Amino acid sequence: MAHPHSQAVPAPILNIPPSDSSVHVQIIDTTAQIGNVKLDSFLEPAIKGHEALNCPAFAFLITHPKLKRSVLFDLGVRKDWENLSPLVYGNLKLYGFDVSVQKDSPTILSEHSIDPASIESIIWSHWHWDHTGDPSLFPSSTALIVGPGFKSAFVPGYPSNPKGVILESDYADRELRELDFGPDDSAGAGGERIVKVGNFRALDYFADGSFYILDAPGHAVGHLGALARVRGEDGKEGFVFMGGDACHHNGEFRPSPYRPLPERISPHPWDAGQKVCPGSLFEGLLRDGDPCKPFYDLKAPLDGTSPMAYNSREARDTIRKVMETDADEEVIVIMAHDDSLLEVLDFFPGYLDGFVGKGWAAEARWGFLRDFKDAV
């Protein structure tokens, strides 16, 4: 692994405001499976042996134990996905995606004695079909929170707009709250304080530093992320970063200047019988042979857009911020479609609260390399 840039750059200080408050976070496998997502349409370089994504779709339940308030970050895919807007459904068929869903998110919650009526708001990371679920299954008391520019771009939905990409039923008879990330220490539409977390503009949702909604533009109009402060039973503080679709594969933000490809990878990404995998196995896949550069980059046509980036410049800037966040040892970065996490994390009805003491971030960090098994 000898390379002039292989020495890790010190992790940037995220300057997350201190707080004694924290939330509980549960990651939900929404039972969706999405297959045949062709990587060469939006990532480069092409890596032979890793041509398509076959992935789940995650959602998160965030509960404030003292305030007795709960929110959802994303919903996954609606069970009756055939009833998406005709434009969206037609595109799924056109691109040949394989989609299956066993249960809607409210059903998953109800099976574990969580009343959908207890959810005060649903936060959509963005408007894409594999994140929006079916909000109409929640009572009208549940608000729908979206990112900047959403209403002017997508409202009204289908059928009032025959070419709509969301449904009118998604927001009918409920509050549709569009966030505005104004100047630092200003107030959002709901009175929430605006701060900076790392280089992300952030909205302090519960106004006590326990849960931030992040402005993470680029992938789609109004794309959002989130950061939750958790504490395990051992008292150790950690932060769960919910990335939505800021990246579709961890090879877009790893390796990085802060986390070079290690010489020894443990646990082995695909061979449980081997405790350690040599990092040199992946040298041939590195861009420019640089162990500090992510395996993948976004394709960026001349007009600045790509199939997975509404604004490729902003999308790359968001990925840079993800790299910075990922450098912090107290943060676990979770993208919505990272199937390598299924074997590491304790999924709903379990909790992520104690991930620091359990070493889950380190255990999961290089698990995505198993996707390159047929490429090395």
Residue 9 lies in a domain: no
Output the domain CATH number for residue 133. 3.60.15.10
**Separation CA 42–CA 223 (nearest Å):** 17
Residue 4 lies in a domain: no
3-state helix, strand, coil in the chain (%, to 5): 25, 25, 50
Both tokens of residue 148? Answer: 């900047």
pLDDT class of 182 with cuts at 50, 70, 90: confident
Residue 158 lies in a domain: yes
Residue 228 lies in a domain: yes
Residue 15 lies in a domain: no
Is the pTM higher than 0.85?
A: yes
**Separation CA 88–CA 158 (nearest Å):** 10
pLDDT of amino acid 304: 64
Strand-pairing partners, residue 187, are: 193
Domain count, the chain: 1
Q: Is the pLDDT of residue 175 over 90?
A: yes
Q: Are 217 and 337 in contact (CB under 8 A)?
A: no
User: How many Cβ atoms sit within 10 Å of the Cβ of residue 350?
Assistant: 11
pLDDT digits (tens, 9 = 90+) for 328-366: 999 999 999 999 999 999 999 999 999 999 999 999 999
Q: Give residue 158's domain range.
A: 24-372
Residue 11 lies in a domain: no
**Separation CA 149–CA 181 (nearest Å):** 11
Q: Is the pLDDT of residue 24 over 60?
A: yes
Q: Are 84 and 128 in contact (CB under 8 A)?
A: no
260: which DSSP letter? P
Mean pLDDT of 236-250: 98
Angle at 278 between CA 272 and CA 283, to 5 degrees: 125
Q: Is the pLDDT of residue 7 over 80?
A: no
Mean pLDDT of 197-204: 95
**Separation CA 44–CA 327 (nearest Å):** 23
What single letter denotes the amino acid at residue 262? P
Q: Are 348 and 28 in contact (CB under 8 A)?
A: yes
Closest CA to 332 of 352, 305, 349, 310: 352
pLDDT digits (tens, 9 = 90+) for 56-114: 999 999 999 999 999 999 999 999 999 999 999 999 999 889 999 999 999 999 999 99
> Does residue 90 sit in helix, strand or coil?
helix
pLDDT of amino acid 155: 98
**Separation CA 123–CA 145 (nearest Å):** 5
User: How many Cβ atoms sit within 10 Å of the Cβ of residue 329?
Assistant: 10
pLDDT class of 2 with cuts at 50, 70, 90: very low
Residue 1 lies in a domain: no
Distances from the Cα of 40 to the Cα of 37, 130, 325, 359, 371, angstroms: 9, 20, 27, 34, 15
User: How many Cβ atoms sit within 10 Å of the Cβ of residue 355?
Assistant: 27
Residue 80 lies in a domain: yes
Mean pLDDT of 283-300: 94
